[in-house]
Structure 1
Amino acid sequence: MAGLRHGDGRWCFLSPRGARTAAELAERHEGVEVCAGNQEVVDRAELVILAVRRRDWRDALAGVRVDGKIVVNVMAGVGHDDLRRTLGAGTTLVRAIPLPTVRERRSVTVVHPSHPEVDAFFARLGGALPVADEAAFDVLSALTGTLTTHYAYLAALASWATGHGISPGDADRYVRGLFQGVGRSLGDETRSLARLAADHETPQGNNERIRTTWFTPANVEALTQALDGLLADLRSR
């Protein structure tokens, strides 16, 4: 759990639950303070960030009063109804999906519902993307489950090159450079993702060959089923 406030030189208040990590953050960053307990975090904050593991959130909130605070829930699979049963029906709740690249202020953060203070906070970290309901929120939450698959795909490419005599260091370096360039092109929002794919492909060329022989309708269906299964799991909790 963390709390945020502007104005007195101390703007980030951390729970002591993760004592080692909290102490390291307080030592490394000016304006970060470790509180004596979760109630102190809430009392001193304007925005309360719930970022504990899903199985731990009830223990973390036991006995904590959040009257009048804005609570930002970044826990996957924990919806508004679950939290309101613990925090009270009048609590202002906003769900959010901050990605690791908010550290560089380069990723949009999905929020529900839209709230001016929460939207403004994430706007400073790369942008806020409010969605209309929790059903839409869960769909975008499921997409975050594909991040490590992307890295594993890149690792598989490097491993294939190593199997054909390229040194592991050279294979790793080349794959990183290849896809860093592709990543930068994603910043061009004037082109759809489908358009970007087409623009990187020559008819009957190498990219078209791999796409059509590996990313087949069967693979698309397998990916769709995996995402549908994750979405169903998120909505059942």
Structure 2
Amino acid sequence: MQPYGFVGTGELTAAVVEGLSAGSPAPPPVFLSPRNQRIAHDLAARFPNVTACGSNQEVLDRATAVVIAVRPQITRDVLEELTFRPDHVVVSAVAAVSLAELRDHVAPAERIVRAIPLPTASRRASCTALYPDDPVARTLFESVGEVVVPENETTLATFSAATATFAAHLDQLATIAAWMAAHGVRAEDANAYVAHVFGELGNTLREAGVPDHIGHGLDAVLTRLTQ
């Protein structure tokens, strides 16, 4: 079974690892870096397939598919401290770091993918944009939801810009649905109800001209991501 390694253990990593592990009869081996020991050790305590490693390099030594999920401003420093193998599949969940930039820092690894998983991966309900398509990356993210592959890396930046605006909104919706489920509502009913209510709210905002303001904001985010 394909072992997965994660360099960077923030909330996004936690969501993907939970989606891979919770309720699965045969979850894959997962190796986590110690960058956030609280999250890493919590996941390792909850799921027997998860191991909290002592270093980022240990993650690479024990996994073939490696997900990079650190902050953009420290990505270069983190990668330069690591030794990659030719057989590594490197999946970057870092916004605004291009394939060309990644290639310079992960050689001799050649299979490099950029991906934008969503926090809903914890419920296996993510819709992950990735580019280029790769069978290992696709298998990983299809395990926690759906996959969409844009035509090119430039188009992927459009997905990234959109994600930047609604990640917190998705987290809010998931929290509301989870709260309803904890109070006796079936999970599927809670999700459907929350989606309906906020969908109707969207219609009201549309009538008030909010989409124009959102469009201008998205243009500004996309400019920052592609400069």
Find out whether 1:63 has 2:81 as its counterpart: yes
Q: From 134, 159, 184, give the equivalent of 1:140.
A: 159
- Map of 1:27 onto structure 2: 45
Find out whether 1:121 has 2:140 as its counterpart: yes
Counterpart CA distance in 2 for 1:178 and 1:39 is: 42
SS at 1:82 equivalent: helix
Counterpart CA distance in 1 for 2:205 and 2:121 is: 33
Find out whether 1:2 has 2:20 as its counterpart: no
Counterpart CA distance in 2 for 1:208 and 1:63 is: 49
- Map of 2:193 onto structure 1: 181
SS at 1:137 equivalent: helix
Percent of pairs identical after alignment? 32
Q: From 106, 110, 128, give the equivalent of 1:109.
A: 128
What is the TM-score when the length of structure 1 is the normalising length? Answer: 0.69
- Map of 1:226 onto structure 2: 217
Counterpart CA distance in 2 for 1:208 and 1:9 is: 40
Q: From 10, 16, 20, give the equivalent of 2:34.
A: 16
Counterpart CA distance in 2 for 1:51 and 1:57 is: 9
SS at 1:108 equivalent: strand
- Map of 1:36 onto structure 2: 54
Supply the AA of the counterpart residue of 2:226: R
Supply the AA of the counterpart residue of 1:47: A
Q: From 34, 45, 58, give the equivalent of 2:63.
A: 45
Counterpart CA distance in 2 for 1:9 and 1:224 is: 40
For the aligned residues, what is the CA RMSD? Answer: 3.4
1:89–1:233: structure 2 CA closer, same or farther, 3 Å change rule?
A: farther
Residues 167-201 of structure 1 deviation map (CA, whole Å, 9 limit, x = unaligned) = xxxxxxxxxx9995261699xxxxxxxxxx8xx7x
Deviation of 1:20 (Å): 2.4
Deviation of 1:59 (Å): 2.4
Deviation of 1:64 (Å): 1.2
1:89–1:124: structure 2 CA closer, same or farther, 3 Å change rule?
A: same
Counterpart CA distance in 1 for 2:117 and 2:94 is: 10
Which is bigger in relative contact order (C-alpha 8 A, separation at least 6)?
A: 2
Unpaired runs of 5+ in structure 2? 8-16, 18-25, 174-188
1:208–1:127: structure 2 CA closer, same or farther, 3 Å change rule?
A: closer
More deviation in 125-134 or 82-91?
82-91
Q: How many pairs are equivalent? A: 190
Counterpart CA distance in 2 for 1:50 and 1:148 is: 19
Supply the AA of the counterpart residue of 1:139: T
Find out whether 1:81 has 2:100 as its counterpart: yes
- Map of 1:95 onto structure 2: 114
What is the TM-score when the length of structure 2 is the normalising length? Answer: 0.71
SS at 1:114 equivalent: coil
